[in-house]
Amino acid sequence: MDDVRPFRIAVPDAALTDLRARLAATRWPERETVPDWSQGVPLEYLRELCAYWGETYDWRAREAALNAFPQFTTTIDELDLHFYHVRSRHPAALPLLLTHGWPGSVAEFAKVLGPLAEDFHVVVPSLPGFGFSGKPTAPGWGVQRIADAWCALMSRLGYHRFVAHGGDWGAIITSRMGEVHADRLLGIHITMPLVDPEPGDADSDDPRVVDALAASRHYERTDSAYARQQATKPQTLGYGLTDSPAGQAAWILEKFREWTDGDGHPENAIDRDAMLDTITIYWVTASAASAARIYWESFHRFPRLPVAAPTAIAAFPKEILRVTPEWAARRYNVVRWTDMPRGGHFAALEQPQLLVDDLRAAARAWR
């Protein structure tokens, strides 16, 4: 394994001191004029959470937990990539590649890494420009290039054929591997398949179709402004988020609330410290702009080709974009479909056991 270097997260004390000072000095806007989240993250909640972040949240303890699993960096296509590589005690275990999305990080897999390593050799890379991976200095790191880099990473680790899982951009990248690198994949497991509805679908009275179309309309009308900003002007956005930890927190917290199965509050779905783990990683790596650029590189710019790799889909009821099994079959080689009883967009954070169980069940057919 040439050019694979051990890595440990070690945020400088000065960075944490600066974070606390900035949180204490936050210049707050006036409160929202509505009694809910319809204008964004409520002032009272954000102030309370930022006070907790600056005064109570223990990054050093969280950092130690994240460092409990083996981490590495390697250079692929002139970019340093950070990744976890947790080997199973079973030498013949299947290799499993997990890919996060935005606003995600490798930390979202913290609860599933140990359980999955009982059955798999688990590899979890940080996307280019995210977390502890390098930040591209020139255009070109879109979905296709990342899919190619992931296959190169797995080859470097000695895995010619493997299983891949992803949600959000991770699902898109995993699907892309299933399109163009199907020979490398024993199977893929995704939580957010992308399939465009057809004209006749709007006339259907099938409850699944009605729900899927309603979810798509809701996303486009009230929940997609962040994506349009990141897809068009990520640099402009980056100045504010890189300078203000409260701003960075709000930008991510909104999605933890909107995209989870939490009955209106993010902490009903995800532990507060787990949310702050990801927010802190974005902050200490100053990766607001570099992470947002995946939208600029790829949003509406990748073809949705047939996915030849055997595909398992875990359908969580509060996923952002939902499809029916019939829609999924238009694009994917669907061999397994699981209707999950609960959960939303951040499967590994919200419902880690459901995700682990479904991945194990899907992989049994691919072994």
Considering the candidates 82, 85, 165, 345, report the single residue annotated as catalytic.
345
Dist. CA 30–CA 82, nearest whole Å:
40
Do the bridges between strand 307-315 and strand 332-339 make them parallel or antiparallel, or are there none, so unpaired? parallel
Is residue 99 within 8 Å of 128, Cβ to Cβ? no
Annotated catalytic, 218? no
Active site residue 295: yes
Segments of the chain assigned E as strands: 4-7, 71-76, 79-86, 94-99, 120-125, 162-166, 185-190, 307-315, 332-339
Question: Are residues 308 and 178 in contact, defined by beta-carbon separation less than 8 angstroms?
Answer: yes
The rounded distance, in Å, linking the Cα atoms of 262 and 212 is 19
- Return the closest-CA partner of residue 318 out of 349, 352, 348, 341: 341
CA angle 36, 41, 46 (to 5 degrees): 115
Q: CA separation (Å) from 19 to 56, 108, 159?
A: 13, 22, 40
Taking phi over 0 as left and psi of -120 to 50 as alpha, with beta for the rest, 3 belongs to left
Nearest to 76 by CA among 127, 32, 23: 127
Q: Structure tokens of 330?
A: 């238009």
Distance CA 175, CA 179 (A): 6
Structure token digits, residue 53: 């972040």
> Token digits for 199?
């004209």
Say whether 85 is catalytic: no
Give the active site residue among 168, 261, 277, 358.
168
Q: Which of 159, 226, 282, 295 is catalytic?
A: 295
Judged by DSSP in three states, 180 sits in helix
Which residues are annotated as catalytic?
168, 295, 345
